Amino acid sequence: MKCVIATPASMCRATASARPADMSRGLVLLFAVVSGLSVANVYYAQPLLDALALEFGISQAAVGSVVTATQAGCALALLLLVPLGDRVDRRRLMAAQLLALVAALAAVGMAPSAPALLAGVFAVGLLGTAMTQGLIAYAASAAAPHERGSVVGAAQSGVFIGLLLARVFSGGISDLAGWRGVYFCSAALMLAVALPLWRRLPALAVAPDVMSYPRLIASMLTLLRQERVLQVRGVLALLMFAALNIFWGALVLPLSAPPYRFSHTAIGAFGLVGVVGALAAARAGQWADRGYGQRTSAAALALLLLAWWPLSLMEWSLAALVVGIVLLDVGGLALHATNQSLIFRTRPEAHSRLVGLYMLFYSAGSGLGAIGTTAMYARAGWQGVCLLGAAVSLLALLFWWATRKA
């Protein structure tokens, strides 16, 4: 009987051969690009609020309802559409949602009245969010366990860049072709990525004992009740995205008024400085996978709170505004990537439901921030907006401190 002794080299070769192959860079890039284009649709209206108020006769205090209608669509998508990824063929689901999103964008571009506009942006929020979060969950399920953090981080970086560049794209196109042109151009872009998406997305097996749709939706409540990490990280997401929307939802109002009177293109360009946040977010997910999730969270929340000091100086210094935007986006987006990395560690069979539940907190925070910031600006101006944002950011930091050992 022959005995074979395994050498370190042979053991390394066996480990390497047993490890699943890494996802191709082209597929990772596709996830990032389409996720970014999808989420951008949800944010095109923010730099256009003054133009929409003028055309449809909406008051300055109430124009935030456009963003709120979009976020209401986001919330329903997270509750009713995103969980479908755990039940049906995800590749077919993405294709159907993309075509429906194209139709919704065209409807907004042709909106003849304020009610039609609100209905259209609601549908854009519904389908844009379903596409974005469905792709994030798709990437998490398609990636091998050893690369899941980096793949999800790359896709999430695409989301962040799309979110930030949405304001630049929206402002620039609206100056050239009006606000309706923004939505027609976006519909064309989504159609352009439809074929590559259909061809490249990998087919993922659907569990043979998949539950019915009503049971699938009902199971989300069970997940929310059982997963402590989801509860804590969801509340942090709610507060963090409320803070981000308090800033971005009100920025167009003082910059489009005297003494600045900036164009939509110039206002949207301020979003470019926040691209630095996407780089921080790409690293934050990897740090969380290495066991530094709490440290990353603390640093991100501290930056989020600190950002409001230079932001409050905008009326005296645009350079301070730029510094504040960098701090705000780096802090917020790094926390977001850390949250998702920690949540995806829990239930691999429920990635779509987990991301849907987590992003419900995000949607609630975004909607509350959009309503609160326009109302605050109408009552107390830019300084009131900054005080509100700082208060919400401080509350997030205190909540993290109270729950850090959970």
Average pLDDT over residues 111-132: 90
CA distance 37 to 158: 8
Question: What pLDDT is stored for residue 264 in this prediction?
Answer: 67
The answer to whether position 19 is within a domain reads: no
Q: Could you report the per-residue pLDDT of 53-88, keeping only the tens digit for each?
A: 888 877 766 777 787 888 788 888 988 898 888 888
The answer to whether position 3 is within a domain reads: no
What is the domain range of residue 392? 24-203+211-403
The answer to whether position 17 is within a domain reads: no
Q: Could you report the per-residue pLDDT of 195-215, keeping only the tens digit for each?
A: 998 888 887 766 655 678 888
CA distance 352 to 204: 13
Question: What pLDDT is stored for residue 206 in this prediction?
Answer: 65
Contact 6/130 with Cβ under 8 angstroms?
no
> Residue 304 belongs to what H/E stretch?
helix 293-306
Q: Could you report the per-residue pLDDT of 228-269, keeping only the tens digit for each?
A: 889 999 999 999 989 988 988 788 788 877 777 787 667 767
Contact 320/313 with Cβ under 8 angstroms?
yes
Using a 10 angstrom Cβ sphere, with 0-12 exposed, 13-18 middle and 19 or more buried, the burial of residue 258 is: exposed
Q: Could you report the per-residue pLDDT of 330-378, keeping only the tens digit for each?
A: 888 888 888 887 887 777 677 788 888 898 888 788 878 888 888 888 8
The answer to whether position 1 is within a domain reads: no
Q: Could you report the per-residue pLDDT of 137-173, keeping only the tens digit for each?
A: 888 878 777 677 678 778 888 888 887 788 778 878 8
Distinct helix (H) and strand (E) counts, the chain: 15, 0
Q: 310 falls in which pLDDT band (50, 70, 90)?
A: very high
Question: What pLDDT is stored for residue 96 in this prediction?
Answer: 93
Question: What pLDDT is stored for residue 154 in this prediction?
Answer: 80
The answer to whether position 7 is within a domain reads: no
Question: What pLDDT is stored for residue 18 in this prediction?
Answer: 44
Question: What pLDDT is stored for residue 384 in this prediction?
Answer: 92
DSSP state letters, 64-122: THHHHHHHHHHHHIIIIIGGGGGTS-HHHHHHHHHHHHHHHHHHHHT--SHHHHHHHHH
Nearest to 271 by CA among 46, 65, 53, 71: 46
The answer to whether position 51 is within a domain reads: yes
Q: 397 falls in which pLDDT band (50, 70, 90)?
A: very high
Q: Could you report the per-residue pLDDT of 35-51, keeping only the tens digit for each?
A: 999 999 998 887 787 78
Per-residue pLDDT at 1 exceeds 60: no
Q: Which CATH number do you get for residue 47?
A: 1.20.1250.20
Structural domain total, the chain: 1
pTM assigned to the model: 0.74
The answer to whether position 9 is within a domain reads: no
Q: Could you report the per-residue pLDDT of 93-116, keeping only the tens digit for each?
A: 999 999 999 999 999 999 888 888
The answer to whether position 10 is within a domain reads: no
Average pLDDT over residues 296-317: 91
DSSP state letters, 111-161: --SHHHHHHHHHHHHHHHHHHHHHHHHHHHHHS-GGGHHHHHHHHHHHHHH
